[in-house]
Structure 1
């Protein structure tokens, strides 16, 4: 589509076609902003908690890194002293990075889990030779399992084996202690910020339910009815979701964070 021009010397201006955003896309953009604001405000209020979590991770990560990279005892003790002195500097830099990047990262990750894509992944077709090999391997594995079970039954009846429990290293002890500390910090944070977490659950529920209904229910009357049912069932879903989040999230987040600092 070419627009009219008054002067002949002016270049021709072509109007760009901007496609209309779908209902789901508009809601996703709105709720993404809401979730990011909620996380940012929570981080400002709970600055001390996040700094304590960073300190715990720093202690575990630095000790793991020193023990892995430096075999000499003298160097280890010297590096630990340097690490303790550098803790305050790292503390402020890490919190600044977390404050700037975490809200967007968390929001994108949550939306990625909620939004169901229309594209189906194609599984690669297995050849007949591969299928035959897999069948033979399964038969061999079954025979081995049967032999092992028979052997284990005989050994159990004949003799009792005393289990050996190895001593925990310094890094493992520190990790267990800091895991408890981080879990307690996250549990207390969730109790204080209950309203914030419920509002985040509401935003995710609105996006996820609308996306799911539009994809699975194509007929207009049924689509409207299911949307109405989704709105009415929102309070009950919020209560169940928050109960699950409160029970499982602290441990899941703690395990994920500790995995990141194991070198």
Structure 2
């Protein structure tokens, strides 16, 4: 008992708090780990287990011990988790952007569901693509790679010493612009074919005025869009997995 009391000193408590802030920040913003369908109790238990497991590998940072420096270090760790989660969630936003454009050309903009992650109304195609992307993430063992990143971060970046550099902000700006580009690229086969079908239906309306576009045209357009979506789903997920792997590699910019 006496040895345990000697072990629990001021430095050890501060080290535990900083490590808890880093792990909880990463779990709070990383894809899959931050999903709202996972019970909060399970997330908390996993964070505490990771903190206890990684505590022997953590080292106390060189800083002045007072209330302000410790609070600033905790905020720094939470901000690191926010930036790391933003880098990875931008890839999922790419799928959501493509799903919104596909839903628009299919006439499914009114067919929206509540996204359990963001609690906002999302087009159903975006929700389907996001869930498939989440399954691809698990199939690639990306959740294991995210845990490996948490362990490596203890050796690469001291606790409480995170500061975003210019290269990190430059990468985030490029990722934001690439979000719209890749969203259009992924949805282009369906969007392009939809525009072509609109052209064909317009020609039919000119040659056959009795052709009822609302009764015949829209079901055909939806059916063709679904067929094309199934055909290009594999390339879409390949691009998603490739970009997600690149985003995981670019997490080193945090150091």
Scaled by the length of structure 1, the TM-score of the pair is 0.27
Larger Rg: 1
Structure with more relative contact order (C-alpha pairs < 8 Å, separation 6 or more): 1
Scaled by the length of structure 2, the TM-score of the pair is 0.28
